[in-house]
Amino acid sequence: MMCPKPRGVLSEWVFDLLRELPERDAWRPGAAPTADGQEDAAIALWALHELSYGGFEDVDDRAEWEPAVLAVRRDLEDELESRLRERWAAYPSRTTPSPEEVPAALEALVAEDDGPSLADLVRRTADRDQVLELLRQRSVYHLKESDPATWVVPRLPVRAKAALMELQYDEYGDGDPNRLHSHMFARGLTAVGLRPEYGAYVDDALLETLEMNNAVSLLGLHRRLRGAAMGHLAAFEMTSSLPSRKMVQGLERLELGGAMAAYYDEHVEADAIHEQLALRDICGTLAEDEPDQSEDILFGAFTALDQECRFATRMLEVWDVAS
């Protein structure tokens, strides 16, 4: 994958900076330009996070740990985290649960979520072009799927660590590369006539798509945010099984089944199991063993739900469909 297209002066400056390696004399800390809006900042941060995943063909691998790069990433992450926490602080039903109350608080948070359902639209009325556009947007995350949570494994106490490894082993196909969830999604993209390579559609990604990806990377890459990362994971798993079933029904209605439907069908059963793992065995035990993480677990879960709502609302605007 090559660096994505810049969306303003900041991302253009960042991508030029990344490509300067290995000419180390060029790497002097300097003030980055002000972003030309949120999309400019979002694509810059997405690219900086990608240095810790698969990287870019036109960027030296050493860029991941260059001080000038880390300084820009820190500033962009601080701004994103501040906005995410402001949304959580403004949530009317925000609670600060005791450690033993965390699983119940997570269930209540998910139960209160009333955002629009794209999966229900796919099941009932979405046309082929709308579904393909949704898959292109989803591909930015689903082609790496569970990788952000893997960063958290060595940062957890023993019970939560064991449970996360159980969940991740399933996400990675139980050792079978053909059952690896991200690979199943790639095969599904091919089957419906879309490009399967990682990052293929990032240049078309909506701001909301980029922010969803940036948030999950932010939470996974920072040890201090381990509770938020696991709360995010729990909310994701708790809200995946039923929508996955609806996606299967919609794909089959549009004769887009086969490998793409198989990906979602895999999640109907798997995520019903993952829900309890994430809710009780990961987040519940983490809160018990590290009580100071209780608040952040709820913050992470709220962030997952809030960003999915924002993404769904934006997709309905793009499709000119009333929620």
Model confidence pLDDT, tens digit, residues 151-206 = 999 999 999 999 999 999 999 999 999 999 999 999 999 999 999 999 999 999 99
Residue 78 in any domain: the answer is yes
Cβ atoms 86, 46 nearer than 8 A = no
Query: Structural domain tally of the chain?
Result: 2
Residue with tokens 């990377």: 217
**pLDDT at residue number 272:** 75
**pLDDT at residue number 128:** 97
- Rounded mean pLDDT, 263-276: 84
Percent of the chain with pLDDT over 70: 96
pTM higher than 0.85: yes
**pLDDT at residue number 231:** 98
- Rounded mean pLDDT, 21-30: 59
Residue 305's domain comprises: 97-319
- Are 158 and 21 in the same domain? no
**pLDDT at residue number 28:** 58
Question: What are the tokens at 150?
Answer: 């893997």
Residue 289 in any domain: the answer is yes
Residue 237 in any domain: the answer is yes
**pLDDT at residue number 269:** 77
Q: Which residue has the higher pLDDT, 33 or 137?
A: 137
* Cα–Cα distance, 67 to 96 (Å, whole number): 36
Question: What are the tokens at 108?
Answer: 């209540």
Q: Which amino acid is located at 112 in the chain? A: E
